[in-house]
Amino acid sequence: MDSTQYILKSLRQDITQNHLQLKALIQDINACVGPISELHSLNSAGRAKISSLRKFIDNFGDIAKENKDTELLKEVVCQREQLKKSMDDFKKANIKSMLTIEKNMKEELMKNVNEETNLRQRQKRDKENLVKRIQPREVPKRWTPW
């Protein structure tokens, strides 16, 4: 096996490995429900994988151009299309996860507001009942002739 074939085989393995790792990160992002810091760390790992994939595909493309091999060039085009689809999936997963996190944060905030409102209403009712109990009962007024 000559050095070019060895390099191509190594690049194919690197591309496949990074692509599978990116797919796993996309699944993790889809499953992420918070906190936002976890989503940010998954995003940075995903961006690093995308960058690595681009680098490996570019290297593969350079070798294909040097050898003027149409089969290798077709393979590069196919790999670029696969990367583009993975990037679209990555963006969609991020949007979905971000919306889920924002929705959960909003629900949590509204839950706290509702609990505080209920507590205030209970306290207000308790105070009103207490005032009713304490108020003296109506005593008939004495009739005064003046």
Is 31 a domain residue?
Answer: yes
Single pTM value for the model: 0.72
CATH number, residue 13 = 1.20.58
Higher local confidence (pLDDT), 1 or 37: 37
What is the model's pLDDT at position 47?
Answer: 96
Q: How many domains does the chain have?
A: 1
In a domain, 59, yes or no: yes
In this prediction, residue 3 carries a pLDDT of 87
In contact, 102 and 38? CB cutoff 8 Å: no
Residue-level pLDDT at 43? 95
pLDDT at 130: 61
The one-letter amino acid at 104: N
Summarised one tens digit per residue, pLDDT across range 108-120 is: 877 766 666 766 6
pLDDT averaged over every residue in the chain? 86
Higher per-residue pLDDT: 128 or 52: 52
Provide the domain limits for residue 76. 3-101
Question: 126 lies in a domain?
Answer: no
Could you give the C-alpha distances from 84 to 24, 37, 78, in angstroms and in order?
16, 26, 10
Is residue 121 assigned to a domain?
no
The answer as to whether 57 is a domain residue is yes
